[in-house]
Structure 1
């Protein structure tokens, strides 16, 4: 039986090591253009992967689905969820809203998102991402989309204090080539991309990766195409009883990474913070109590 909170991609990856050679070939074909690659007939999917139709039937049952129709139904549900606009999401939540205050409904949704996300997040992934972000030999570039750009800016603002060589890229794709020009192999681009995924961000990730740059992506449970090019992918649950997706869990992981990086290099970070406070004092940025 397939766990309801897991995507088909999650299920395939979880079972990958136990698949036969032909089934692995099929799995790789499905993940290459996910989820569209699995929306054709069973014969079409088999032909595209270069395997037999019985191989498809066996693999979907091995994954825990009753058959190909159920497997494909899950893919359709995921596709519908990823392309939903704010109006459609609002209508879906309004129709199923529990009879309680919005504060309680939001709290329940956020807590469920946090539990699911932490249950799926590997500490090794978190630790390696923190190590990369703290490596001062690497330059860091932060970028997000129309909504997630605010998360990228928040992350950048803190990392800028902790360490040098940090850059905030605008959401305007026309400005990206100049940044890519300055990127060196081993540098890191931190990308925020949630449904409805922005094609320009995938293009940026692909070009940067081709130039030896590492990618860290923060996305949702359905997974941005950017993940195909990423070294680390934080798949976080974002649904809320609203026309808008929730950024609470994403911000939680971002803040935990900020703390991990600054704690690992506290002596250098403290020195930078002291210098910054002196600059604030000179510029009289903050109002002092009388």
Structure 2
């Protein structure tokens, strides 16, 4: 009987070993951590192809971790295997889309993929971890939130809504500064949320390293637990970004952010509800003002 905790313990062992692994073995480590179900399911040659390494490198990885062979390393993943394939009812609207030519097929495939990554992303978040993240955020002196390029849209939305429940939330960088400039006065008691996906932003990685050096606690929202060997986050909310086009699909990340916002509002209590009501009243007053102006 395989120990049911062995898969998680093996993943933890891999993460701890990453800083001392060779570059090729780091590639294998990252692949296993990011794709545990595929690793448990695929034969060694297919895993080597997907990871972009040789079968010999996979065997070396097993030996490096103290396993007798590759099959012994893979067995805990096979035992705990949960298919990452989406369970999506092939409803009539999907079949209807597929019957409308090439674009209909693309739309149907994208729709199925979107529903799948939302489900996979939400399933990966344990209630214990989400509770820890919310507690870290609510107890922080200041919460810095940083992202660049396409990830910035997610960060902007999280900041726009999140500040209702979390007044200490600051979106960085501001005013054409760098994130590091904004973190100059950060320190112990502060928390930073960083959002980045493959290929990981150099600016965000540098900001994370700088923040950790200053004693700031770090929460990552990313597509992997293995982002950099130069720092480790207290918590990483791992989401799926699998896409049917050439760029990452961020609906899974948005779903997790929505869940985080719901928890923050709940834990924010009456104070959060008062801030939300104040904001809604302000919008109503502003709309009434412009309606009156148009009448004149």
Q: Residue 254 in 1 paired to residue 253 in 2? A: no
- Whether contact under 8 Å (2:212, 2:231) holds in the other structure is no
Is the partner of 1:217 in helix, strand or coil? Answer: strand
- Whether contact under 8 Å (1:159, 1:166) holds in the other structure is yes
How many positions carry a matched residue from both structures? 237
- 2:230 and 2:7 map into 1 onto residues whose CA distance is 13
Structure 1 match to 2:8: 14
- Whether contact under 8 Å (1:201, 1:226) holds in the other structure is no
| Cα drift, residue 165 of structure 1 | 1.8
Given candidates 11, 24, 28, the residue that maps to 2:16 is 28
Structure 1 match to 2:118: 114
RMSD, matched Cα = 3.9
- 2:221 and 2:64 map into 1 onto residues whose CA distance is 36
Structure 1 match to 2:73: 63
Query: Residues 207, 276 of structure 1: CA spacing in aligned structure 2 closer, same or farther, 3 A cutoff?
Result: same
Note the residue ranges of structure 2 that are not aligned, 5 or more in a row. 28-52, 76-101
TM-score (norm 1): 0.67
- 1:283 and 1:34 map into 2 onto residues whose CA distance is 60
- Whether contact under 8 Å (1:227, 1:233) holds in the other structure is no
- Whether contact under 8 Å (1:133, 1:140) holds in the other structure is yes
Structure 1 match to 2:165: 162
Structure 1 match to 2:200: 197
Query: Residues 170, 99 of structure 1: CA spacing in aligned structure 2 closer, same or farther, 3 A cutoff?
Result: same
| Cα drift, residue 57 of structure 1 | 6.3
- Whether contact under 8 Å (1:144, 1:171) holds in the other structure is no
Structure 2 match to 1:236: 239
- Whether contact under 8 Å (2:122, 2:255) holds in the other structure is no
- Whether contact under 8 Å (1:221, 1:236) holds in the other structure is yes
| Cα drift, residue 184 of structure 1 | 2.6
Query: Residues 27, 204 of structure 1: CA spacing in aligned structure 2 closer, same or farther, 3 A cutoff?
Result: closer
- 1:253 and 1:205 map into 2 onto residues whose CA distance is 21
| Cα drift, residue 201 of structure 1 | 1.4
- 1:234 and 1:100 map into 2 onto residues whose CA distance is 33
Note the residue ranges of structure 1 that are not aligned, 5 or more in a row. 1-10, 66-97
Is the partner of 2:173 in helix, strand or coil? Answer: coil
- 2:114 and 2:6 map into 1 onto residues whose CA distance is 26
Query: Residues 252, 27 of structure 1: CA spacing in aligned structure 2 closer, same or farther, 3 A cutoff?
Result: closer
TM-score (norm 2): 0.66
Q: Residue 206 in 1 paired to residue 209 in 2? A: yes
